[in-house]
Structure 1
């Protein structure tokens, strides 16, 4: 199988972003200067529609969690709300190589190779900077736990090494459920734009399991990478359909409300687009929360 023959499942949900909860929703917020770690993941301090009378004793995060519960409690039977914490992997060796050679030379030549004299970028690993960025995410989650942040009930991660590594540094050892040991579910479709670039070719299932023995694989996860095509680069439109299918799968199969997805710039760009969120490119290691409404198609 190649990416050009990737089956697209029928979409069972219509997705939309519910704005007004995070600064990143607002068109005046500049993605280039926004610091999620310094601003509570961007949570807006506000009064919600259904504030309990004793809300003054609750933190803003606790009130936010109650608001999301209220949205689900009052929604119709075909509607559900989830909060997606979308985290981009930390800086990888391929990101450094692209900066070194420039995007044009990278796309046209260097990205098609296995590496250069400085090392390989096949299924690229994190740099020391990337590991530090993941530690910043770890510290940010730890700080917000004390403020009552609704903790992820499910963790999903791309099969590419840089995402598995970022998720491990971010969540392992956090005082949250499912993080000791940390056992996320690896989802094949959560990966970066596929094809041509060797940094986006994943390792075998056996190699991933050897590096991350606690991680879980979704059913049907293939031993070898059947989707990466050395001659065809996935289009943005195809990537959008792929990530739309991923969301459809998650919303249909996971009853949890607060979800963590550790992925890539391309995957997150597509998730934001198919849910109707404004464009918000993330720096390596950054996180954006999104409130998503899903209406079941009948």
Structure 2
């Protein structure tokens, strides 16, 4: 869906460092800033505006950017049933669908990746949709270290959640996990997208923070009305604005294909079509896609933690060309 009104954010794919044994594909990402080597074509530009127009790049202050790592849940039982027969999505047997054995293999593979590329240590917050399959995925991918003797912490996920036959996942030295309704899948009609009550989830995921969910029961899902695509997109924009209110600069989001597709569809219209496609295409199960979100509308007020004011004590210290204009050198006085 294309929005005609301007948005306060810019969303741009960002590269993740890959393990040394993996060759990076030059077409696998589009970094925000490319290195520019001096060349005759650059030097022939007649003005700064010419350079900006031809380069197709952008510069933004670092403190007005966040990195978000978007993850779709691993394969659920509803994915398998729905691929065979789309009407299966109406089945009550798929209520709050859990992961399949293949889904857990996908989780294990993604965890190995985020460990190998160093991402697991960078993430400051994990935001997760409060449905069984997303919380299983988030726990398996971004969970804590193994339990150690003498250390008593709540598990992130208890054993055998969703008939998984998986051992408990520790929250030891774990990034905070926060459940949020804004990043849920399309609401309504499909029982697989209806959540359980929060008091049922808490014993299953003791270390996930459910405090931002206002209702214990699922009051958002209705049996007879499916949420419109444009309403999902609007909810996605609210979610992006909410992300910007967080103090964390590197956030993982574990959500759903439909939600992320419609949430991201508003972005990339001012980019190259291949970049637009990279941002907005549908997610595969357990796919991770990293983006930089930029505050172009000044909705944030954070100050930089790395900028430095320079000259101390403060005073007049103009660039030489400006100083020459303001203070023409006296005749016979050298520079």
Query: Is TM-score (shorter-chain normalized) higher than 0.5?
Result: yes
Structure 1: state its 5+ residue gaps. 1-10, 24-36, 51-69, 116-120
Query: Which residue, out of 59, 63, 82, partners 1:98?
Result: 82
Aligned to 2:160: none
Residue-by-residue CA offset, 1:175-195 (whole Å, 9 max, x unaligned)? 9xx863453100011110110
Residues 60 and 294, structure 2, Cα contact 8 Å, conserved in 1 = no
Counterparts of 1:130-149 in structure 2, within 5 Å, are 130-145=103-118
After TM superposition, the score normalised by the length of structure 1 is 0.70
State the match for 1:17 in structure 2: 11
Residue 236 of structure 2: aligned partner: 243
Instruction: Say which SS state the counterpart of residue 221 (structure 1) adopts.
Output: coil
Q: Secondary structure of 1:91's match?
A: coil
Q: State the structure with bigger RCO (CA 8 A, min sep 6), 1 or 2.
A: 1
Distance 1:126 1:39 in 2: 31
What is the alpha-carbon root mean square deviation over aligned residues? 3.2
* Partner of residue 283, structure 2: 282
- CA–CA separation in structure 2 for the residues paired with 1:123 and 1:12: 36
Residue in structure 1 matched with residue 316 of structure 2 by the alignment: none
- Residue-by-residue CA offset, 1:141-160 (whole Å, 9 max, x unaligned): 11001xx7871111100001
Give me the TM-score of the superposition, normalised by structure 2.
0.62
Question: In the alignment, does 2:130 pair up with 1:159?
Answer: yes
Give the corresponding residue for 1:113: 91
Q: Give the SS at the match of 1:211.
A: coil
| CA distance in structure 2 between the aligned counterparts of 1:179 and 1:238, rounded to whole angstroms | 38
Uncovered stretches (5+) of structure 2, i.e. residues with no partner = 37-58, 147-170, 269-275, 300-335
Q: State how far apart, in whole Å, the 1-side matches of 2:97 and 2:255 are.
A: 13
* 8 Å CA contact retained: 2:179, 2:213: no
Inter-partner Cα distance in structure 2 for 1:260 and 1:193? 20
Aligned match for 1:72, one of 50, 53, 61: 61
1:138–1:174 contact (8 Å) kept in structure 2: no
Cα deviation for residue 292 of structure 1 reads 1.5
Q: Could you say which structure has the higher helix fraction?
A: 1
SS of the counterpart of 1:248? helix
**Alignment CA distance shift 1:226-1:40 (3 Å):** farther
- Hey, what's the Cα distance between the residues in 2 that align with 1:151 and 1:196? 38
Give the aligned partner of residue 180 of structure 1: 173
Could you tell me which of 175, 178, 186 is aligned with 1:193? 186
Aligned to 1:59: none
Residues 220-242 of structure 1 show CA distances to partners (whole Å, capped at 9, x for unaligned) of: 43100010010000111000001
Q: Does residue 1:213 correspond to 2:186, yes or no? A: no
Please report how far the alpha carbon of residue 246 of structure 1 lies from its aligned counterpart in structure 2 after TM superposition: 1.2
Per-residue deviation, 1:270: 2.2
Give the greater-gyration-radius structure (CA): 2
After TM superposition, give the deviation of residue 281 of structure 1 in Å: 1.4
Cα 1:297–1:111 shift into 2, 3 Å: same
Q: Deviations over 1:32-71 (max 9, x none)?
A: xxxxx96779456898559xxxxxxxxxxxxxxxxxxx94
